[in-house]
Amino acid sequence: MSEVIDITVPAYGDYVLDDLWRWRREGLKTALLTLVAIDGSSPRPVGSQIAVAEDGRAVGAITGGCAEQALVRDALSAIARGCNHVERYGEGSRFRDIVLPCGSGISVAFDVTLSDEAVAGLRTARQQRREAVYVWDGGFERLYRPQPRVLVMGQGPIVPFLAQMACLSEFATAVVSPDDTTRERSRADVIRPLSAASGGGLTGLIDAATAVISLFHDHDYEPEILATALHSQAFYLGALGSRRAHARRIEKLKALGFDAAQINRIRGPVGLDIRAKTPPEIAVSILADVIRAWRA
């Protein structure tokens, strides 16, 4: 490997194993860095990771930018030595030139011997939307939850804005719409016409890590869709419309046999009350509420 001269701050990514795997498929040695302990405050939680390739490419974040270049440099050294270890940064570190602005100290595990089988197993669990655990040989365990998904159903300009913002926030996204233009303008992992949403068509898209958002202006579309969502384990249910429209929605769902406790799962009007007016503002309010529920 040629010497790396310029070490830059890694691109951000909360999930780094896909990049790690791709670099290994290119024949490169890699390091997986994991934040295993924090003394004081930190912008990133325990379990945050950075993946580093021996050619200097890196993705992830552990300190939010203040020590990432040093972390990548030390990862390259660990790759060259082929040695796993834990390093201290900030308060209590042997590196006096690396001071964390928050005044805290962190411990970072450098794993350069993680097997291909272990990486493949973790990635397979994510693809199958199952929990998985990465075990550091020093005894630390890092839980990978299924990637949260936002299922957006409806039509109109809010749909593509919400889908794009969800993608940028690292949610898996699915758009189900009867409108050709809405589907064409939406950036999503899965895009389906409304006809695919009836019956079991939606069921395969909804699990406990899914937020279901109904953005129909014609509320006649909603009863079957919301009924399917209410029978699911979705962590968030929301529906567009005024308080008056939501009251009518409630009556329709009661007529379908749903009780108050079930219906109260639906956030209506959907989103945080930030007085949003425009489609992108409404999309921001919805996604913020979804994130609040996911992180609760």
For residue 221, the model assigns a pLDDT of 76
Looking at the structure, do residues 21 and 130 belong to the same domain, yes or no?
Answer: yes
Q: How many domains does the chain have?
A: 2
Looking at the structure, do residues 71 and 34 belong to the same domain, yes or no?
Answer: yes
The amino acid that residue 55 corresponds to is D
Looking at the structure, do residues 179 and 64 belong to the same domain, yes or no?
Answer: no
Instruction: Read off the tokens for 246.
Output: 């939501």
6-10, 40-44, 102-106, 225-229: range with highest mean pLDDT: 225-229
Q: Which domain holds residue 105?
A: 16-144
For residue 96, the model assigns a pLDDT of 62
Residue 1 forms part of a structural domain:
no
Residue 4 forms part of a structural domain:
no
For residue 5, the model assigns a pLDDT of 40
Looking at the structure, do residues 185 and 59 belong to the same domain, yes or no?
Answer: no
Looking at the structure, do residues 173 and 53 belong to the same domain, yes or no?
Answer: no
What's the pLDDT band for 102 if we cut at 50, 70, 90? low
CATH code where residue 232 lies? 3.40.50.720
What pTM does this model have? 0.87
Looking at the structure, do residues 106 and 30 belong to the same domain, yes or no?
Answer: yes
Residue 35 forms part of a structural domain:
yes
Q: How far apart are CA 158 and CA 82, in angstroms?
A: 50
Angle in degrees, 0-180, between the axes of helices 17-25 and 116-127, rounded to the nearest 10: 130
Domain boundary among 112, 144, 176: 144
For residue 178, the model assigns a pLDDT of 86
Nearest to 194 by CA among 163, 157, 151: 151
pLDDT digits (tens, 9 = 90+) for 153-206: 999 999 999 999 999 999 999 999 888 898 889 888 888 887 544 544 676 889
Q: What share of the chain is helix, strand, coil (3-state, %, to 5)?
A: 35, 25, 40
Domain boundary among 144, 160, 177: 144
Looking at the structure, do residues 156 and 213 belong to the same domain, yes or no?
Answer: yes
